[in-house]
Amino acid sequence: MIKKTSARLVYLILSGGNTLADTIMFTVNMVYFVEIIGLSPLQLVLVGTVLEGAILLFEIPTGVLADTIGRKVSIVTGWFIMAGGFLLVGIVPELWAVFIGQVLWGLGYTFTSGATEAWLADEIGEDLVGKINIESGQINRILGLIGSAISVAIASVALNLPIVIGGLMYLFLAVFLLFTMPETQFTPRYKSSKSLETPFQSFIQTFQEGVKAVGKSPILLALLLVELFIGAASEGYDRLSSAHLLKNFQIPPIGALQPVVWFGILNITGSLASFSTTAMFRKKLEVISQSYQLAARYLVLLHSLGIAMVVMLALTGNFYAAIAAILVKGVMGALIFPLYNAWLVQNILPTTRATVISIVGQANAFGQVVGGPGIGAVGNRSLRLAILLTALLSIPALPLYTSAQKKQTVFSPESTR
């Protein structure tokens, strides 16, 4: 029991610290990129492309490292690397520093991706993971609101301060994990396995099974294409919406406060709106997620509303209408997330579930890498046109959802009973 309590506390501190640091940094990081470093729309998108490219490149080898040598070694290494990347970006306001920082962030993230979840399940047991995730989620929502307020306050002094402080928090978490993170249930494969098969060969076999599962399922192929288009669209929207507000609107003053305060207000309001909406419709979402076809219909509806909000953001000349569009788009995303995850899981056999989810996620990252630069290039000429293009790139996902809805699921909970 002591072991499980220790792992639980370490995870809650890690998750909460991560949320607080991320909110402090990312509430105003795009403002820092535009106002201080002077990145163009294309450069803003390329920053994200470099990040996703690093994740695509390093995801597999770092995953093998975590399964071969140890989850703690992998996780601690990742946090040190990410801390270095963020500190570089915050201290050196140059384009080259931003690109190197993104590579370090992507590399460090892959060391922690999957390894953290695997470590937690090993230490506390799979049956308690869901409970702790819910507990951490509740704590993180509060910390996210606090982080937004802190971010705006220190950004009013200097726009690079939130990133520097966030990087220092990452460094603190790395040191904290190094000295407190328990790892009592993991045995390196080279010490435990009597098989002649190497860990990498085992990984390749599992990966091949996942690829075959996707190839044999029209539904999963459709989801792969959905993620490809959504990834290409999201990269442009995520990177350019803040620049659009800064460049194409007259931001109303709030007394003597800096314009950056608006981004804190937007982030806090968006968090509250998403939280209250999902809480209000929680029971209905649970019912919808149990029905494969009903979930598909609601996904089409919610994605359609999200696309409409992006079009509104691109075309409106009114600042408050633009803010409303961003907020509603965020709420749609919060409603889509649980439905999509449940819908995806219903279509994957348990034996290859983690691998297939990883493949689908990689399709999203690939879409960002491929589609992002083109949208950024358009943004150099017109931010409105670039954001409108992200809406158009999202439209093919709608018929793909409709098509997948008509097909039979490859897996359902009943099939294992």
Q: Report domain 1-180's class.
A: mainly alpha
Query: 3-state SS string over 266-324?
Result: HHHHHHHHHHHHHHHCHHHHHHHHHCHHHHHHHHHHHHHHHHHHHHHHHHCCCHHHHHH
The answer for residues whose C-beta is within 8 angstroms of residue 65's C-beta and 6 or more apart is: 73, 74, 111
Sketch the domain layout of the chain as residue ranges.
1-180, 199-407
Q: Of 237, 396, 403, 384, whose CA–CA distance to 304 is shortest? A: 396
Looking from the CA of 113 toward its CB, the CA atoms found within 13 Å total 22
What pLDDT was estimated at residue 416? Answer: 37
pTM of the entire predicted model: 0.74
pLDDT in 10s for each residue of the chain, 417 residues: 444 448 889 999 999 999 999 999 998 888 899 889 999 888 988 898 898 888 888 876 766 677 677 788 889 999 999 999 999 999 999 999 999 999 999 999 988 877 787 788 778 876 676 677 767 777 888 888 899 889 988 988 899 999 999 999 999 999 999 999 888 876 665 455 455 455 555 556 555 655 666 666 666 777 778 888 888 888 788 888 888 888 888 888 776 666 778 888 888 888 888 878 877 877 777 777 777 777 778 888 999 999 999 999 999 989 999 999 999 998 888 788 777 766 676 666 555 555 566 677 678 888 888 888 888 899 888 989 999 999 998 888 888 777 766 655 544 434 433
What is the token pair recorded at 403?
Answer: 């098509």
CATH superfamily placement of domain 199-407: MFS general substrate transporter like domains (1.20.1250.20)
Terminal-residue alpha carbon distance, the chain: 32
Residue written as token pair 């158009």: 392
Task: Go through the chain and tell me how many residues it has.
Answer: 417
User: Sign of the CA dihedral 128, 133, 136, 138?
Assistant: negative
* 199-407 matches 1-180 in CATH topology: yes
